[in-house]
Structure 1
Amino acid sequence: MSLPPLPLLLLLLLTSEPAGAMLIRIPLRRVHAGLRTLNPLRAWEKSAEPPRLGAPSPGDKTFVPLSNYLNVQYYGEIGLGTPPQNFSVIFDTGSSNLWVPSGRCHFLSLPCWLHHRYHSKASSSFHSNETKFAIQYGTGRLNGILSEDKLTIGGLTGASVIFGEALWEPSLVFAFAHFDGILGLGFPVLAVGGVRPPLDSLVDQGLLDKPVFSFYLNRDPEAADGGELVLGGSDPAHYIPPLTFVPVTVPAYWQVHVERVHVGTGLTLCAQGCAAILDTGTSLITGPTEEIQALQAAIGGIPLLMGEYLIQCSKIPTLPPVSFHLGGVWFNLTAQDYVIQVGHHHKDVTVTQSDGFERVGLGVRHH
């Protein structure tokens, strides 16, 4: 069976029909994480409330560059306020709120003092809200207040958004993170406090040509750029047409139906089909415990204490592909795709265990 490479571009369509003006390009940067910080968001995040189910490019395109942290954390820059106060944020499809550290944060909140902080008094466009919000993490609760101000993202300025000022950030996970805050790209039903997600606000205000965003993630550790987030469309330079579109099955997370998963030619997982979430805030591929254990056994993974698995470097060239069938098309992960190098002397596969009408576009990347 001949399988194409797994795409490094995701094209995601929002719901509204805007009368917008431009495409926005946001560069991503890449930074490197240790074994215990591979998944700072999804490993501990749980909403405190139950869900209520760059520079402009030529022409009409504006893009946001992304940083890449060991192919684990990809983040980019935004601005809040007038004049803009700049922050590095994770663009996270698994949540729907925008928050950054506040200049009014608690003096014992170490993560806040180690990052850029938003100062409302320094912004002429600030509007007070003062509604309290909270997001529950496994190591503690992130608390803050909601505020309203202007968002600068890529080449776009002047968009009014409601965001969180974090007054208390839990744990050293955030203290040593390379990002200041999180910009959620999920659906409104997931938004804590019932606020409008930032991209939905851009669509509502007619600032995007199309209700679409896409990610290109550059896995080359030597490359200067980590990729880019494009708002309002996609960049054909990063994929081989045509895109494969699959429907979103639950408009909360970006959840899709996976038809099945093959590990080489000897193991089939998700044999009857299964649900999957495309989550840019998650560093790892997660799945039901039994199936992940079967997958790791097939590739020779050595289990570690916290749910990760170790792979010997010498075995990388001989490991089988892990292949996903979505929208009638096979997408193939090679060992170079699914093994993360954590140290100089070994590589490991890190997989956490989990319980087990929009469209998502998948594109085969250029080599």
Structure 2
Amino acid sequence: MRATNSLVGALSVAHSPYTLTLSPKRLDTTHSLSRRALQPADVPLMDYFNRTDLQWYGNISVGTPPQNLTVVFDTGSTTLEFASTLCGSACANQHQFNPNKSSTFVDGGSSRRIVFSTGVGIDPVVGDNTALVLRTAKDTVRVADLSASEVPIYLITNQTPVFLQNPFDGIMGLGAQPVGFLGGLIAQGLPAMFGMLFTPHDEGGAQLTLGGVDSSQFSGDPTYVVLSNDMAPQMWVLSSSGIFVGGKAAPTPQQLSVIFDSGTSTLAIDPTLSKAIYALISPEIQPNSAQPGTWGFPCSILPLGNATIDFAFTSTDGRLFNLTIPADALSVGPFPTNNPNGTLCQGFITDLQGFVIVGGSLLKEYYSIWDVSGHRMGFAKRNGTIAVSHKTGAAATSKRTSWGVVSALFVAVLLSL
């Protein structure tokens, strides 16, 4: 998820792909601190499904004695916030942490408000309709068999109504720097990495592995990419050489920075690029004026075989490869409102000025590795899916445009809490 923070009071692909020879691999803990007092732990994840896979979330506990909560494990943020008894009826559908019942709770004494620019679902954020009011604090946090004390936490004291539908209670940030709960575990010797397995709703078995990866969930050796330095260091950002739609190059900036955000459901990208991508799929895909920021098309035109979207990258060993979103991801189903006959389907790409954010639509196609100490990400063939597609030869190129990338300063403001 992507949040704006305001302190209260303050390729055309020219080469044929080949498939890597894949072999089993043991748990990868090579990039860890020298002291290993903690061992990797698996966290089962549940899938919030509403027309499409929206979020994957799991169990944590906070306080002494522990109070059980559920959170989205969000690589697009760095903080831990969850509903509390200070929120009252505004958080009526969530489990609420009671700070008065925790002997290890320490009140931070200040409040702040954050407004998200991407939310839980597939609909764009409108104004400040996706906002939280938070109270700073510290307490002990546990996930699976892992525990860290004096973790900075944020108690939700108020929230906008859009959050009420969520089946989870909060958000745990897992940014690219070792801070918060993850930082506390790494300080105790947990290997500084984690693996994510997102799966479709009808498949199940989604999982987070803290401190390593679960090699039983994928085939072969992962393909790694070094993180880009174009944006704030808290962000999981990779530099892409282009976006291709059905094999045709979309016009992209000279420098395309792609944010990988497990808390974003689909794709949220700059409107100029949204328009270009949809134009390569079908002229019948048009902006939906009834719901600004979304795109619609007659459901009758499905399926569209040319709707495959490839993001092109260069691996750490210099090979070109694509991460692919299959064509059947294009539609998230008919619009639920202002669609009396149910004949207008919604595209999975939504508009977000100045960003290219990749979420669950792509991540559920691969096993993803988030290597904090190695400053890199890894991708492998998730069991039951297609392999990472590698290319040979010169670097792929794409048409360029000039809408540019968001400044590092602006992104740093978005992530600072």
TM-score, normalised by the number of residues in structure 1: 0.76
Q: Is the 8 A contact 2:148 2:185 kept in 1?
A: no
SS across alignment from 1:245: strand
For 1:132-281, list aligned pairs within 5 A.
132-137=111-116, 138-139=128-129, 141-157=131-147, 159-169=149-159, 171-187=160-176, 196-206=179-189, 208=190, 210-219=191-200, 221-225=201-205, 227-250=206-229, 251-270=233-252, 272-281=254-263
| Structure 2 counterpart of 1:332, one-letter code | T
TM-score normalized with structure 2 length: 0.68
How big is the alpha-carbon RMSD for the aligned residues of Structure 1 and Structure 2?
A: 2.9
Cα shift readout 1:148-193 (whole Å, capped 9, x = no counterpart): 2221112223544120111121x2111111221110111459xxxx
Work out the CA distance in 1 between the residues paired with 2:157 and 2:79.
15
Structure 1's 338 and 152: CA in aligned 2 closer, same or farther, altered over 3 A? farther
Matched residue type, 1:302: Q
Kindly report which structure 2 residues correspond to 1:93-104, keeping only aligned pairs within 5 A, or say none: 93-104=75-86
Question: Which of residues 127, 133, 149 in structure 1 aligns to 2:106?
Answer: 127
CA displacement, residues 44-67 of structure 1 (integer Å, 9 cap, x when unaligned): xxxxxxxxxxxxxxxxxxxxxxxx
Does structure 1 retain, via aligned residues, the 8 Å contact 2:41–2:146? yes
The number of equivalent residue pairs is 313
Greater displacement, 324-333 / 122-131? 122-131
Q: CA contact under 8 A between 2:244 and 2:310: conserved in structure 1? A: yes
Q: Tell me, in whole angstroms, the C-alpha distance in 2 between the residues paired with 1:313 and 1:79.
A: 47
Of 307, 328, 337, which residue of structure 1 is paired with 2:293?
307
The 3 A distance-change label for structure 1 pair 275 and 140 is closer
Task: Output one character per residue of 1:237-261: Cα deviation in whole Å (capped at 9) or x when no partner.
Answer: 2222211111111322111101111
Paired residue secondary structure (1:318): coil
* 2:50 corresponds to 1:76: no
Spell out, residue by residue over 1:92-143, the C-alpha distance to the aligned partner (whole angstroms, 9 max, x if none). Answer: 11111101112123x5xx4322211111222233233323333234227522
- What CA distance in whole angstroms lies between the structure 1 residues aligned with 2:376 and 2:267? 21
Find the aligned partners of 2:29 and 2:301 in 1 and give their Cα distance.
Answer: 37
Counterpart Cα distance in 2 of 1:147 and 1:332: 41
Distance 1:291 1:85, change over 3 A: same
Instruction: Report whether the alignment pairs 1:365 with 2:346.
Output: no
- SS of 2:250's equivalent in the other structure is strand
Give CA-to-partner distance per residue, 1:255-293, whole Å, 9 cap, x none. Answer: 110111111133334374411100011112122222210
Once the two structures are superposed, residues 324-357 of structure 1 have per-residue CA deviations (whole angstroms, 9 ceiling, x without a partner) of: 1112212222112443235796653232222157
Q: 1:325 aligns with which of 288, 305, 312?
A: 312
Aligned residue number for residue 92 of structure 1: 74
> Which secondary structure state, in structure 2, belongs to the residue aligned with residue 114 of structure 1?
coil
- With over 3 angstroms needed to count, the CA separation of the structure-2 counterparts of 1:92 and 1:275, relative to structure 1, is same
Q: Check the 8 A contact 1:111/1:176 in 2, yes or no.
A: no
User: Which consecutive unaligned segments of at least 5 residues does structure 2 have?
Assistant: 1-15, 21-27, 117-127, 315-319, 337-341, 356-373, 385-417
* Letter paired with 1:265: G
Higher deviation after alignment, 22-31 or 349-358: 349-358
Q: Which letter maps to 2:217?
A: H
Partner of 2:119: none
Deviations 1:212-236 (A, max 9, x none): 01211102x32343x1111111111
C-alpha distance in structure 1 between counterparts of 2:109 and 2:32, whole Å: 29
1:339 aligns with 2:331: yes
Counterpart residue number, 1:29: 46
SS at match of 2:107: strand
CA contact (8 A) 2:147 2:185 kept: no
- Tell me if the contact between 1:13 and 1:359 (Cα under 8 Å) persists in the aligned partners: no
Give the distance between the partners of 1:329 and 1:12, measured in 2 at CA. 24
